Amino acid sequence: MKKVILFVAISLSLITMQSCNNDKKDKENKELSASDVPAPVKSAFSAKYSTATDIRWEDAHENDRQTYKAKFMLNGKKMKAEFDTSGVFIKENEDN
Protein backbone atom coordinates (compact mmCIF):
# COMPACT_ATOMS: atom_id res chain seq x y z
CA MET A 1 0.00 0.00 0.00
CA LYS A 2 2.85 2.36 0.84
CA LYS A 3 4.36 1.75 -2.62
CA VAL A 4 1.08 2.63 -4.33
CA ILE A 5 0.75 5.90 -2.38
CA LEU A 6 4.36 6.79 -3.15
CA PHE A 7 3.85 6.02 -6.84
CA VAL A 8 0.72 8.21 -7.00
CA ALA A 9 2.49 11.08 -5.21
CA ILE A 10 5.46 10.95 -7.58
CA SER A 11 3.17 10.77 -10.63
CA LEU A 12 1.21 13.83 -9.50
CA SER A 13 4.44 15.71 -8.87
CA LEU A 14 5.70 14.99 -12.38
CA ILE A 15 2.42 16.09 -13.96
CA THR A 16 2.46 19.31 -11.95
CA MET A 17 6.05 20.10 -12.98
CA GLN A 18 5.20 19.58 -16.66
CA SER A 19 2.22 21.92 -16.51
CA CYS A 20 4.35 24.63 -14.88
CA ASN A 21 6.95 24.27 -17.61
CA ASN A 22 4.30 24.75 -20.33
CA ASP A 23 3.24 28.08 -18.81
CA LYS A 24 6.79 29.34 -19.16
CA LYS A 25 6.92 28.31 -22.81
CA ASP A 26 3.62 30.10 -23.52
CA LYS A 27 5.00 33.29 -22.01
CA GLU A 28 8.21 33.01 -24.01
CA ASN A 29 6.25 32.49 -27.21
CA LYS A 30 4.50 35.83 -26.74
CA GLU A 31 7.74 37.71 -27.36
CA LEU A 32 8.37 38.70 -30.97
CA SER A 33 11.37 39.93 -32.87
CA ALA A 34 11.04 43.32 -34.54
CA SER A 35 10.97 41.60 -37.93
CA ASP A 36 7.76 39.78 -36.91
CA VAL A 37 5.92 43.06 -36.23
CA PRO A 38 4.00 44.53 -39.20
CA ALA A 39 5.50 47.66 -40.78
CA PRO A 40 2.43 49.85 -40.02
CA VAL A 41 2.75 48.99 -36.32
CA LYS A 42 6.47 49.79 -36.19
CA SER A 43 5.91 53.01 -38.12
CA ALA A 44 3.10 54.17 -35.80
CA PHE A 45 5.21 53.31 -32.76
CA SER A 46 8.24 55.23 -34.09
CA ALA A 47 6.10 58.29 -34.85
CA LYS A 48 4.56 58.34 -31.35
CA TYR A 49 7.64 57.32 -29.35
CA SER A 50 10.62 58.56 -31.34
CA THR A 51 12.93 58.69 -28.29
CA ALA A 52 12.03 55.23 -26.94
CA THR A 53 14.84 52.81 -26.13
CA ASP A 54 15.13 49.13 -25.18
CA ILE A 55 12.06 48.20 -27.26
CA ARG A 56 10.66 44.67 -26.94
CA TRP A 57 7.61 43.41 -28.82
CA GLU A 58 4.94 40.95 -27.71
CA ASP A 59 1.98 39.27 -29.36
CA ALA A 60 -1.18 40.43 -27.58
CA HIS A 61 -4.96 40.59 -27.90
CA GLU A 62 -7.45 43.32 -27.06
CA ASN A 63 -11.17 42.50 -27.17
CA ASP A 64 -10.54 39.35 -29.23
CA ARG A 65 -8.50 41.11 -31.91
CA GLN A 66 -4.81 40.72 -32.71
CA THR A 67 -2.61 43.48 -31.31
CA TYR A 68 1.09 44.13 -30.76
CA LYS A 69 2.43 45.36 -27.43
CA ALA A 70 5.70 47.26 -27.17
CA LYS A 71 7.57 47.41 -23.86
CA PHE A 72 10.16 50.15 -23.79
CA MET A 73 11.97 52.86 -21.83
CA LEU A 74 10.90 56.49 -22.28
CA ASN A 75 12.44 59.32 -20.26
CA GLY A 76 13.65 56.89 -17.61
CA LYS A 77 10.26 55.17 -17.20
CA LYS A 78 9.24 51.65 -18.19
CA MET A 79 6.28 51.93 -20.54
CA LYS A 80 3.89 49.72 -22.53
CA ALA A 81 1.95 50.68 -25.65
CA GLU A 82 -0.42 48.60 -27.72
CA PHE A 83 -1.30 48.91 -31.42
CA ASP A 84 -3.62 46.95 -33.70
CA THR A 85 -2.37 45.24 -36.84
CA SER A 86 -2.85 48.36 -38.98
CA GLY A 87 -0.89 50.57 -36.59
CA VAL A 88 -3.83 52.21 -34.82
CA PHE A 89 -2.85 53.18 -31.25
CA ILE A 90 -4.96 51.38 -28.62
CA LYS A 91 -3.53 52.20 -25.21
CA GLU A 92 -0.49 53.16 -23.16
CA ASN A 93 0.48 52.29 -19.60
CA GLU A 94 3.43 52.76 -17.32
CA ASP A 95 4.95 49.32 -16.75
CA ASN A 96 5.61 48.79 -13.05
CA–CA separation, 50 vs 96, rounded Å?
A: 21
Mark whether 56 and 16 lie in a shared domain.
no
Does pTM top 0.85 for this prediction? no
CA–CA separation, 72 vs 14, rounded Å?
A: 37
Mark whether 45 and 13 lie in a shared domain.
no
- The model's pLDDT over 24-81, given as tens digits with 9 standing for 90+, comes to 444 445 899 999 999 999 999 999 999 999 999 999 988 889 999 999 999 999 999 9
Other Cβ atoms less than 10 A from the Cβ of 45: the count is 22
Mark whether 17 and 49 lie in a shared domain.
no
Number of compact structural domains in the chain? 2
pLDDT interval class at 5 (50, 70, 90): confident
pLDDT at 96: 75
Instruction: Look at strands 31-32 and 53-62 and give their pairing.
Output: antiparallel
pLDDT at 21 over 60: no
pLDDT interval class at 9 (50, 70, 90): low
The 3-state DSSP composition of the chain as helix, strand, coil percent (nearest 5) reads 45, 40, 20
3-state class of 1 per DSSP?
A: coil
- Domain with 44 in it: 33-96
